[in-house]
Structure 1
Amino acid sequence: MGEKERYLNLMFDPRVVRGNTYALRVAPVSTEPDPLEIRRRREARKRALARRRAKEQLAIRTPEPVEGREHVEVQTDRYLEEISDQIIEVDRECQTDEFLDRPPTPLFIPAKSGKDVATEIGEGELFDFDIEVKPILEVLVGKTIEQALLEVMEEEELAQLRAHQRAYAELRNAELAEVQRLEEQDRRYREEKERRKLQHMQMLQKQKETTEKIAARAFTKHYLSDLVPSVLNNLRESGFFYDPIQRDIDTEFFPWLMTEVEETLEKRVLGRTMLDSLIRTVVEKRLDAFSHKPLPEKTEAPVEKTEAPAEKTEAPAEEPKPTDTEPQVAGCEDCGKSLVGECKLHGPLIRAKDRVIPSRARLTLPHYLTLRVLELRAGNEQILGVFAKKVIQKRTQFGPYVGQLSTKLTCYDESRLVLQVLKDGGKYFLDTPNEDCGNWMMFVRLARNQEEQTLVAYQHCGEVYFTTVKPIEPHTELKVWYAADYAKFMETSAVFIKEESDVYPLPPVAAFSHSFFTEISPVWLL
């Protein structure tokens, strides 16, 4: 039995690890006990001894013997003995403790419920650890050492990388700090530059505001110097300030005077007409008397017959002309005859003239404008112009221009402006063949040069408006030319573009209302 047993059960080999290898306890390298464990065991032993002494002190002891007696230590048997027939009686005196300590409860071990089975293991059935396990362990240990070396080399390489990273991070942090310093310096330079630029701009703005205030003060002073007289004149012309005597003369005396003058003139015209008729009759009779020889009285009737042919022969030589004093009459109600011309017996008829009604264009003329005849052409055609009666401020708008929409111009005047508008996608002319087809703006003549231009024409929302480009003094004619954009629309050149920015575009909201109480020109009243 002294020989080493070669084959053993694998479960009893201490070198084989059994159970979970993940929770494997690693045996300590040193065989010496842990000082902490030694101290813990020593303290546990001291606590157990202290508990035992405490129990001994708390246990009920045998009272002290009385005088003349003593206690003797005896050991009693724990088990009862069988009583025999002969009992050996020996007297002994003893005293037991009142209570004995209860022994500890034994560990509960359940009874076996199965059957034990045994088996026989033959020689060679169990494996030899040195033969079968040692090569595997050598491979595992070699691979483990090789992996450990690789890990050590990897850790060294990682340490070198970390060192290189730390050096790179330090260098990068230094560069970033330098960049931040330069950026901060540049930012301070920019802020200082912006601050100085803003300060310079504020200084220029203050200088500009000061200049504008000085100019505005000078302009206001110059403008307000004539404001009070101009306002008073406007109020006076509008009828707010008036002289009662002058108003009575204008409203009462002048109408009465004009009526009396008209009646006197009508009487004079009637007298002249009657006198002309009488003179003509006498002259005709004298002419007839000197033209023919006188006949006896008995032949007076034939003379009358001969006079009639004379009249018939003379009539074609002197054709009656329709005049204001000799109207064409169909007949004389007093004589009951149909005559051509006036009645020689009862005289001419008294003609009653109709009242002259101005055209629409003349009625729409504003009260501070007037029409003047500039030229008389063939056929008694009048060339009219529009003149200002008072000062008209700059940027005063007139319109819209009223005319008939037409694709062709039926009446063209070289002194008037040709106007077109864009409506419904087509271009149409604003045609004014007569004064009842338009408003007063048809009388405005075109400007030949920049000096005489006072108005500019432009189109807005399909309508044409005229706007003043400069103040118009009294007795100055209103003349117009195209604005730049409207000139392009009319396919012509905008000669005068100096004042264009002041007048275009303007919305048609400041148009002046047309007054029906216009100045009546003596030319078209006759």
Structure 2
Amino acid sequence: MGRVLRPGSQTPKPESIAHSSHKTAESSRREKSTWNGRGDSLSLRLEEITDRSVETDNFVQIELARVRPETPPFSPATRSKDATTSIAYNDLFVFDREVKSLLEILIGQSVQQALLEVSQEEEDRLKVEELRLHEEYRNVQRAEAQRQMALQLRYTQEERRRLEEGVIREEQAQRLAEKLEIAAYAKKYLENLMLSVYQRLQADGHFDKRVRQELELHFVPWMCEQVGTALDDLTAVSFATQVIVRRVLLEAKEEAKHHLEKARVPFHQTTGLSGGHPHKHNIAITLTVDFISQ
């Protein structure tokens, strides 16, 4: 159940309200468990309070003593009279005399600083020049070292190449000597072998009929080949000649037949013969044409 706030009472804090509600719920839970254990049939009822209590706003006010200005320090009043000292002109400080030392100091310091800066610049310039000379010398030394290394490398490569060429030359000379030795041995062996083989072939009779062998092996086949070629050429020429002659004879036969047909009837008039028999001349021309055609 909720709590009823009376007018004029202090407004409870949220923490206290939550704590009290938690305690109320806990006590209700305990009572319910007790009742359930006891066998009573009781029910809880929650009631909401809608009445708004009287509320007032309070502010915190700073004390005026804390915001007042700071208290000035205490200065006691003087009890004696102030006295003055009178100093005559050029009695305590003479400007024309004292300013010389000040000017000497100021100008001396400026000149000394300028000289130091100039000497520092000169020293820096000398250092830069020295560094440049050192860099040039180092570059020259480096280039010389690289040149010496390249020269040494070339010498090493040339020496290695010449050694390899010497080894190859020795191998070639040795191989050539072996070949010459083998060739000399083979030549000597073949000379003896050829002499013995020639003697054996001559003893067997292979060189007695040299002319006959030359004729049988070389001349006769060549002569047969040449004769065959000549006969083939002659046969071809003869055949061509026969063809040409036959063609000419056939043309002459046709021309003779044509003239014979024209001159068969008035033959005795064209020939100018008198008292002769015209059939004899016709028979002679026919026999001539038949002979030509054959």
TM-score normalised by length of structure 1? 0.16
Higher strand share: 1
Higher helix share: 2
Q: State the structure with bigger RCO (CA 8 A, min sep 6), 1 or 2.
A: 2
- Structure ID, larger Rg: 2
